[in-house]
Chains A and B, each alone.
Chain A
Amino acid sequence: MIWQQLQSLAGSYPLALRGLGMTVVLSLISLVLGTLLGFGLGILRTGGNRLISVAIGAWVDLIRGTPFLVQIFLIFFILPEFCIELDAFTAGIIALTNLAACFICEIVAAGIRSVPTGQVEAALASGLSRWQRMRQVVLPQAMRIVLPPLVGQYVLLIKDSSVVSAIGLTDLTRVGWLVVQRVPNGLLVFFLVGVGYFIVCYPLIMLARRLERRMGAAHGEVQL
């Protein structure tokens, strides 16, 4: 009985690999796009223009205040009404990128705010341009605060990518759902699905913890 199930499971490993691949690709693309967009938004949020700052803050609240599942449904079912045709993959990427960008924006903004104003004033006095100030003075110091939660955010992103299975993308969770219809052993199937996610996420969790310890220590050393 259990032997048959194991055989049947072994038969579906190409599907499982495809699912894991889909999860990784989805997460990776939206991770890169989301990080770029998030840093841009975070810099704009602390950039001094009140209107832009409030607008970004409102959008971030909107995204943080609604379930990701609802956001996916909104994007997948409503953008077509604005004559933008989407397949599930693009919708998934848009939703995940947007989610990541909003969370990363807040992380980056907090990091930038943590840099003492004296540093910015010193840079101003040295005649650095706005861009130079950001790139050479503020961001390198902000990274200390930004990096640990940023990696933590990547873990959340990978986990949230499981929700796109709801619009029919064949990611790892969806594969589990498909396999469990044939092999009626939910414990085993979703245990294996869990193992797949664990392999991807756990190293990142360890990295985040390490960074937190190291950055914390570094922060103590260079206390100004």
Chain B
Amino acid sequence: MLENFSFRTIVEYLPLFGQGLVTTVWLSALSFAGALAVGIVLAAMNLQRGWLFRVPAKAYIDAVRATPLLAQLYFLYFGLPRLGFVLPELVVGILALSLNSGAYIAEIIRAGILSIPRGQVEAGVASGMTYIQRMRLVILPQAFKVTIPPLLGQAIVLVKDSALLSLISVSELTRAGQLLASDRFMPAEGFITIAAFYLLLYYGLKGLAALSGRWLGLQPARSST
């Protein structure tokens, strides 16, 4: 049993956990921003009528969705130096998370845009709006609203996925738990503590998703995270 559970050690290692938590938060935020950029580009390509942009975008999205993030992470980690890009582990990790989440975000954005009734577009055309005006003034403001809850769901997934970066020795939250487990042979203290920190982030984002749903006047979202 866990009769030797040492809160003292946890307190002693608290600065390390704090650093890990901060790293996890900012690298997730950065990756999410990157994923948004990737997702917007992919969604725009995927919505084109011509195959020239649509096919590569679809192929990329399918390839990412059908393979595990860990394999993608190793692909970049072991593959990039081969191409002459010797990057720090942290950069490789952020790159992998952005490229992975971007594929999922592309689908969220596409679904959001396609959820706008056709009549809206036609009304825009009838009012003499250009393509850009229709997008900017009619479609995107409405699509934006429906994509917020699933985007926050993806943010939750991304924060959890960032734990995998510990396997290429990025010193984020999970890595802090591993250090405690290996330095002091206290896996229980290490991993239970980081689990608690992750739950904190999870409930924070989940609450935000519920709030945003209410602000935007949507039904309480049952996001499938």
Chain A interfacial positions (CB closer than 8 Å to B): 61-62, 64-71, 73-74, 77-78, 81-83, 106-107, 110, 149, 155, 158-163, 165-166, 172-173, 176-177, 180, 184-187, 189-191, 193-194, 197-198, 201-202, 205
Set of chain A residues within 8 Å of B160, measured between Cβ atoms? 65-68
B197-225 interface (Cβ within 8 A of A):
198-199, 202-203, 206, 222, 224-225
A-B contact count (CB 8 A): 138
A65 touches B72 (CB 8 A): no
User: Can you list 23 pairs linking A and B with CB atoms under 8 Å apart?
Assistant: A64-B202, A65-B199, A68-B163, A69-B166, A69-B174, A71-B195, A73-B178, A78-B2, A83-B1, A107-B224, A162-B70, A166-B167, A173-B74, A180-B78, A186-B74, A186-B75, A186-B78, A189-B78, A190-B74, A190-B78, A191-B75, A201-B65, A202-B66
A70 touches B191 (CB 8 A): yes
B62 touches A159 (CB 8 A): no
Set of chain B residues within 8 Å of A67, measured between Cβ atoms? 160-164, 174, 198
Q: Classify the secondary structure of B's interface with A.
A: helix
User: How many angstroms from the CA of A188 to the CA of B153 in the assembled complex?
Assistant: 33
Give chain A nearest CB distance to B174 CB in angstroms: 6
Give chain B nearest CB distance to A93 CB in angstroms: 17
Set of chain B residues within 8 Å of A162, measured between Cβ atoms? 68-71
Set of chain B residues within 8 Å of A173, measured between Cβ atoms? 68, 70-71, 74
Interface size range on B against A: 35 or more
Set of chain B residues within 8 Å of A189, measured between Cβ atoms? 78
A180 touches B174 (CB 8 A): no
Give chain B nearest CB distance to A56 CB in angstroms: 16
Give the interface segment out of B9-17, B79-87, B115-123: B79-87
Contact with A along B72-100 (1 / 0, CB 8 A): 10110111111100000000000000000
Chain B interfacial positions (CB closer than 8 Å to A): 1-2, 62-63, 65-72, 74-75, 77-83, 160-164, 166-167, 174, 177-178, 181, 187-188, 191-192, 194-195, 198-199, 202-203, 206, 222, 224-225
B68 touches A73 (CB 8 A): no
Q: Classify the secondary structure of A's interface with B.
A: helix
A77 touches B74 (CB 8 A): no
* Neighbour of A82 across the interface among B1, B181, B203, CB < 8 A: B1
Task: Decide: A176 near B67, CB < 8 A? Known: A62-B199, A67-B160, A67-B163.
Answer: no
Set of chain B residues within 8 Å of A198, measured between Cβ atoms? 63, 66-67
Set of chain B residues within 8 Å of A165, measured between Cβ atoms? 70
User: How many angstroms from the CA of A73 to the CA of B195 in the assembled complex?
Assistant: 10
User: How many angstroms from the CA of A134 to the CA of B164 in the assembled complex?
Assistant: 40
Task: Decide: A66 near B67, CB < 8 A? Known: A77-B187, A187-B75, A205-B62.
Answer: no
Q: Which 10 A-B pairs have the closest CB atoms?
A: A186-B78, A65-B202, A67-B163, A77-B187, A190-B75, A187-B79, A162-B68, A186-B79, A159-B68, A201-B66
User: How many angstroms from the CA of A173 to the CA of B178 in the assembled complex?
Assistant: 21
In the complex, besides A67-B160, A73-B177, 19 extra interface pairs with C-beta distance below 8 angstroms are A61-B202, A65-B202, A69-B164, A70-B174, A70-B194, A77-B187, A81-B1, A82-B2, A149-B224, A163-B164, A166-B167, A173-B70, A173-B74, A180-B78, A190-B74, A194-B72, A197-B67, A201-B65, A201-B66
